Amino acid sequence: MTTATAGDRRPAAETTTFGILAALSLCHFFNDVMQSLITAIYPLLKDNYALDFGQIGLLTLVFNGTASLLQPLIGFYTDKRPQPYSLVVGMGSSLAGLFVLAYATSYGLLLVGAALVGLGSAIFHPESSRMARLASGGRHGLAQSLFQVGGNVGTAAGPLFAAFIILPRGQESLAWFAGLALTGMVVLARVGAWYAGRRAAAAKSPAPAVLPPALPRGLVLRTLIVLALLIFSKYIYIASLSSYYTFYAIERFGVSVQGSQILLFMFLGGLAAGTLLGGPIGDRFGRKLVIWGSILGALPFTLVLPYAGLVGTAVLTVVIGLIMASAFSAILVYAQELVPGKVGMISGLFFGFAFGMGGIGAAVLGQIADARGIGFVFTVCSFLPLIGLLTIFLPDIEAERRKAAA
| 363 within some domain | yes
Residue 92, pLDDT score: 94
Residue 379, pLDDT score: 93
Q: For residue 372, give its domain range.
A: 17-203+215-405
Number of domains, the chain: 1
- Cα–Cα distance between 47 and 346 in angstroms, integer? 39
Q: What is the pLDDT along the chain (406 residues), one digit of tens a residue?
A: 334 444 444 443 357 688 999 999 999 999 989 988 887 788 888 889 998 888 888 888 888 778 777 888 887 888 788 888 999 999 999 999 999 999 999 999 999 999 999 899 889 888 888 888 888 887 777 787 788 888 878 877 887 888 788 888 889 999 999 889 999 999 999 999 998 888 777 777 655 555 566 778 888 889 889 988 888 888 888 888 888 898 899 999 999 988 888 898 899 888 878 877 776 776 777 777 788 888 888 999 999 999 999 999 999 999 998 888 877 777 887 887 888 777 777 877 787 777 677 777 877 888 898 899 989 999 999 999 998 888 888 887 777 667 766 6
| 97 within some domain | yes
Supply the pTM of this predicted model.
0.69
| 41 within some domain | yes
| 4 within some domain | no
- Cα–Cα distance between 269 and 242 in angstroms, integer? 12
- Cα–Cα distance between 129 and 253 in angstroms, integer? 40
Residue 23, pLDDT score: 94
Residue 93 identity? S
Cβ atoms of 141 and 280 within 8 Å: the answer is yes
Residue 38, pLDDT score: 84
Residue 12, pLDDT score: 38
- Cα–Cα distance between 89 and 243 in angstroms, integer? 27
From the CB of residue 27, how many other CB atoms can be counted at a distance below 10 Å? 29
| 3 within some domain | no
Which residue, among 44, 26, 55, has the nearest Cα to 174 in the 3D structure? 44
- Cα–Cα distance between 248 and 269 in angstroms, integer? 18
What CATH number is attached to the domain comprising 290? 1.20.1250.20
| 370 within some domain | yes
| 246 within some domain | yes
